[in-house]
């Protein structure tokens, strides 16, 4: 048994495995070659995602500061993302 701080309080040896719990995962919907491509390019995807989020947050701040009503739904961010029709 382990204390909340991670210190071992006592140890008891067991002869057999009594319980093994794990969560099964569903099979992927992607083909294996596409999964390999995603794993290979994961760093570039994450860099692009972070850059996009930073850009959107800066644009949202600019839009909220310049918009007198304070509504972001009519601002340039939504236009740029294609949310307005």
Q: What is the DSSP string of 19-77?
A: -------PPPSS-HHHHHHHHHTHHHHHHHHHHHHHHHHHHHHHHHHH-SS--STTSHH
Band (pLDDT 50/70/90 cuts) for residue 85 is: very low
d(CA 24, CA 29): 15
For 43-63, the pLDDT digits (tens) are: 998 888 888 888 888 888 777
Average model confidence (pLDDT) for the chain? 77
Instruction: Say if 64 falls within a structural domain.
Output: yes
Instruction: Say if 12 falls within a structural domain.
Output: no
Instruction: Say if 42 falls within a structural domain.
Output: yes
Instruction: Say if 74 falls within a structural domain.
Output: yes
What range does the domain containing 39 cover? 32-81
Instruction: Say if 10 falls within a structural domain.
Output: no
**Phi, psi for residue 35 in degrees, rounded to 5:** -60, -45
Least confident residue range of 4-8, 17-21, 30-34, 65-69 = 65-69
Instruction: Say if 15 falls within a structural domain.
Output: no
Q: How many domains does the chain have?
A: 1
Instruction: Say if 62 falls within a structural domain.
Output: yes
């Amino acid at each position: 048994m382990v204390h909340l701080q991670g210190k071992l309080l006592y140890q008891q040896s067991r002869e057999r495995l009594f319980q093994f719990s794990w969560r099964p995962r569903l099979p992927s919907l992607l083909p294996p070659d596409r999964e390999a491509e995603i794993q290979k390019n994961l760093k570039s995807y994450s860099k692009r995602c972070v850059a996009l989020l930073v850009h959107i947050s800066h644009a949202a701040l600019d839009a909220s500061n310049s918009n007198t009503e304070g509504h972001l739904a009519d601002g340039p961010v939504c236009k740029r993302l294609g949310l307005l029709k």
